[in-house]
Structure 1
Amino acid sequence: MKRNTEYLPEDLLVEILSRVPEASLARLRSTSKGWNTLIKKEERLAKKSLVVMLIHNRVYLVILDLHNDNIVKVISQFSLNDPLSSSSIEVDIRHVCHCDGLLLCTTMDERLVVWNPCSGETSRIIKPLNSKYSSDVYALGKSSCNEYKILRVHHHGDGFSFSCLVEYEIYDFTSNSWRVVGETTEWSLPGGWRHGGTSVDGNTYWLSRDFNQDCRPRLTTSLRCFDFSTERFGCVSLPVDHASYNLFALSVTREEQKLCLLTSHAKTYDIINIWMATKIKTTGDMSWSKLLTVKRTHPTFTGISFLADRENKVVVCPSKYENSSTRLHIVGTDKYTKVDHHGVGSKSSLPVMYDPTLVQIQQGSLGIGTWKAPIT
């Protein structure tokens, strides 16, 4: 970075970079800390957010620009071919989660792939023993010692109407192995909440269903956090007057990557509120502020994917239904827009904020095999 900018004024460099294609600009952010800092601080370069979307079992990088007429544009696709197979057929992806710019992809055949979209580095992970269940929950997280880990949560039942045994285990990159870290029958991650885990500061949050001693569900639900340092689940406080609203989903703000909660009024679904966590304490107490209140403009459902834009005061979410699934809904206090994400026909989508990273994937002492997966 220093060598490149030694003879160029910063304003000229910004002018040059503003003409660089979005996909190339994303890759530049992962080449050095200097490039990353410059691109992030300059509004002309940073205003176009990168979003990862799972579209028809493929992972895409998408530009989401809410400053200029709500532009949504697919800029590149992640192509993953199985290195153990002679076939060139791409691997289908079932779910995607993220942490610090790294993505954890669950394939349709229940393998796990950790991917850095900018560098193209991937790492093939050994799947958990006896894992045959598409309902298993996975999350990628980071401990206070900057060690990345994978969490797997397995339900011995649906965990909706009645309690079931919930087991959770950790994959350690350095030892290349899985180990059980806990189990419970007091709560579960049912239905649409199962794959709605949201990563903030290295830990992952879920909405959960609680059970009484007779194994029947309570009327209330909880917000739980898995701490990758202690490798334990903990309960986190919700906004005040919990009985006055229904819980739908978790996400983050587009700008600061703060935890967000989407709720609706307990007696009517016409009003939707977005809450933002302003302070997270180690005790599990959390301070919340109401970020946005909007009218419901399209069907909302449990576990809905969304992004909250604090600056523009809008919430962005995809359609659920196949005949309209190539659209994103952008809803504000006094606006509603439907935008096609051009270039891709699909039947499902999941937006996840993406911040390019310099992080390299840890490799175990036994070697878990790596390969380059190009962005096309």
Structure 2
Amino acid sequence: MSNSWRVLNVTIFRQIIRRRGVSVKGNTYFIAHERSVVEEIEMEICLICYDFTSERFGLRLPLPFHSYCSQKDSIVVSTVREEKLAVLFKRCDAYEMEIWITTKIEPNAVSWNNLFKVDLMFEIGIVRGSFLVDENEKAAVIFDENTENRANYKAYIIGEKGDNKEVDLGEYQRWSHVYSYVPSRVQIQ
């Protein structure tokens, strides 16, 4: 299979603002915002999908909350099992954190359900990492990959029941990322 790569001429009118997308149902979803011609216009953050079947980006998909480019809010996407998308939302100036899960996810349509909202008993800064969700237990493990404070790599276990805790994972390592598992249709012999 040599020379199996090809270049797609894709025009995108949005700017992807989080470096990692997540794959759900064979498509990849990114946190983004509309591109602004005028700098003073406040752009709302949204979700966009790259549809591999049509080889195009889909329409702007709404998030279940409002956040704008100038805010330093934490918005992180993850997958739940193989069929749902989860989004973590924490305002930069609040101790409250929300996790939302899709009830419908398609390249041009999305609907959301609030899994839980929790008041944290400890401070979490801007979450730049990843997280895993247990939908049945209404809990999450958040990995804060704060590269500004490399000596303080942490995981936070939070849940609707309120038994939240912080776990020090030691010094940050470039390889210390957590990703959701998505099974492949390819069988290894």
State the TM-score bracket (shorter-chain normalisation).
0.7 to 0.9
2:49 is paired with a residue whose SS is: strand
Residue correspondence of structure 1 range 129-144 to structure 2 within 5 A: none
Does the CA-based 8 Å contact 1:207-1:221 persist in structure 2? yes
8 Å CA contact 2:74, 2:91 repeated in 1: no
More helix, by proportion: 1
Q: Does 1:261 align with 2:112?
A: no
Q: Is the alpha carbon distance of 1:345 and 1:176 closer, same or farther for their aligned partners in structure 2, counting shifts above 3 Å?
A: same
Residues 345/213 of structure 1: CA separation in 2 closer, same or farther (3 Å cut): closer
CA-based RMSD of the aligned residues comes to: 3.1
2:49 counterpart (188, 212, 225): 225
Alignment pair present for 1:314 and 2:118: no
**2:140/2:158 contact within 8 Å kept:** yes
Counterpart among 177, 180, 187 of residue 350 in structure 1: 177
Question: 1:338-363 CA deviation, whole Å, 9 max, x = no partner?
Answer: 3466xx965342211225556158xx
Looking at structure 2, the residues matched to 299 and 251 of structure 1 have their Cα atoms a distance apart, in angstroms, of 18
Give 1:242 shift.
Answer: 2.5
For the residue of structure 1 that corresponds to 2:54, the secondary structure is coil
1:330 shift after superposition? 0.8
State the distance in 1 between where 2:85 and 2:2 align.
29
| Residues 1:256 and 1:300: Cα distance change in structure 2 (over 3 Å) | farther
Q: 2:5 aligns with which of 177, 186, 189?
A: 177
Structure 2 matches for 1:29-40, cutoff 5 A?
none
For residue 247 of structure 1, report the CA deviation from its aligned partner: 5.5
1:324 to 152, 162, 165: 152
TM-aligned CA distance change 1:215 to 1:340, over 3 Å: closer
Deviation at 1:205, TM superposition (A): 0.7
Unaligned stretches of 5+ residues in structure 2: none
What's the CA shift for 1:220? 0.9
Question: Given the superposition, is the C-alpha separation of residues 233 and 217 from structure 1 closer, same or farther in structure 2, using an over 3 Å criterion?
Answer: farther
Q: 1:356 to 1:285 in 2, by over 3 A?
A: closer
What is residue 111 of structure 2 aligned with on the other side?
287
* Residues 250, 345 of structure 1: alpha-carbon distance in 2 compared, 3 angstrom cutoff: same
User: Structure 1 residues 218 and 187, CA, compared in 2 at 3 Å: closer, same or farther?
Assistant: farther
Q: Show structure 1 runs of 5+ residues with no match.
A: 1-172, 362-376
1:205–1:223 CA contact under 8 A, matched in 2? yes
TM-score w.r.t. the length of structure 1 is: 0.41
- 1:202 and 2:26 are equivalent in the alignment: yes
Q: Which AA in structure 1 matches 2:85?
A: L
Q: Counterparts of 2:40 and 2:4 in 1: how far apart (Å)?
A: 38
Alignment of 1:47-86 (within 5 A): none
In 1, the alpha carbon distance for the partners of 2:59 and 2:131 equals 23
TM-score by length of 2: 0.76
Match of 1:183, SS state, is coil
Q: Which secondary structure state, in structure 1, belongs to the residue aligned with residue 179 of structure 2?
A: strand
Which residue of structure 1 lines up, in the alignment, with residue 101 of structure 2? 276
Query: 1:238: how far off?
Result: 2.1
Counterpart CA distance in 2 for 1:211 and 1:218 is 10
Aligned residue for 1:251?
78
The question of whether the paired residues in 1 share the 8 Å contact of 2:25 and 2:82 is answered with no
After superposition, the C-alpha distances for 1:79-120 in whole angstroms (9 at most, x for unaligned) are xxxxxxxxxxxxxxxxxxxxxxxxxxxxxxxxxxxxxxxxxx
1:151 is aligned to none
Letter in 2 for 1:202: G
**C-alpha offsets along residues 50-85 of structure 1, whole Å, 9 cap, x if unaligned?**
xxxxxxxxxxxxxxxxxxxxxxxxxxxxxxxxxxxx
Would the aligned equivalents of 2:22 and 2:29 in 1 still touch at CA under 8 Å? Answer: yes
Give the C-alpha shift of residue 235 in structure 1. 2.7
Question: Based on CA coordinates, which of the two structures has the bigger radius of gyration?
Answer: 1
For the 8 Å contact 1:307–1:315, the answer to whether it is kept is yes
Aligned-residue sequence identity (percent) comes to: 26
Give, as a single letter, the amino acid of the residue that structure 1 aligns with 2:15.
Answer: S
> Residue 234 in 1 paired to residue 61 in 2?
no
